Amino acid sequence: MVALSTETVRSNIYFLKRNKLYNEEKPYSLRFTPPEDFPRSNITLEKHDVTIRNIRPALTNLSFERDGLAIMNLESRMSYDDFDDEEKLINVYLREIADSLCAFLGAVHVQIFEHTVRKRHSIFPISTGEPYKYNQPTSMAHVDTTPEWARDMVQKLNRDHADEILKDRVQCVNVWKPLKGPVRDWPLAMCDPRSIKPETDLESCDLVYPDYVVENRQLYHSPRHEWMYLADQQPSEAWVFLQSDTTADVKSVPHTAFPNPLAGEDAAPRESIEVRALVYYGGFADE
């Protein structure tokens, strides 16, 4: 297990609720308005209290290769306002992420396929009744992708030489960092991947958009799970955590935001950016 400190916080997290329905019907969530009388989702959740340990005192002990997660130092050239400029975000920040990941993980190439800015509305998780301007924190434990979906994404993005790429190791990772710090409001929690049993704790789920489908994994609750977070995370501290791996599926890291009882009433609403990327260790010899 990851070496954790004795500093803890008690909070709650939503998990997928076990349901016999999933023996016959795959969990799904439609990310668009469905036809009349068609259920938007068949997912049912349950909330559990959990203990979440502060990893900061043991931060230097983290190893991405061993633990599936680590903190990467990231001194971005982006200002706070730049993250609302999509052109700068793509041309500057995503290039910084790709270059930093290559160096941090010893990869030969990084291909980014998604990025999301989240800014918590002041009344979230209470609904405003209207669409939020920005994406909000996610409050249910999940893994972003499955290995099968990641392989399919490699094929879609690299039609001419995907088979060559897939001869070597490919990882799907998430890079998450605050836009402002320190983060006390709705920080990100990670589940130690060695505390889960993928065959019984994870359930594949389809997130269905109008023009594509993402297969992710939802987490069932277990008292054996070990949760951690980085207290007072700063914008220069980026979580890098594994979502799927073509050589080993035992280190996928379930994660979620959680309401922090230590935040205090004056804590600023959390603002963050996450980047999902495919990390290649071969197949790009000419790059």
Q: Per-residue pLDDT for 127 more than 80?
A: no
What is residue 263's three-state secondary structure?
coil
* pLDDT tens readout for residues 143-191: 999 999 999 999 999 998 999 999 999 999 999 999 999 999 999 999 9
277: which 2 tokens?
């990327």
Phi-psi region of 241 (alpha: psi -120 to 50; beta: other; left: phi over 0): beta
Domain ranges of the chain: 109-287
Pair 147, 203: CB distance under 8 Å: no
Pair 94, 275: CB distance under 8 Å: yes
- End-to-end C-alpha distance for the chain, whole angstroms: 37
**Bridge partners (DSSP) listed for residue 109:** 280
Predicted local confidence at residue 287, as pLDDT: 47
Please name the amino acid found at residue 220.
Y
Q: What is the pTM of this model?
A: 0.93
Q: What is the mean pLDDT of residues 185-205?
A: 96
Instruction: Give the total residue count for the chain.
Output: 287
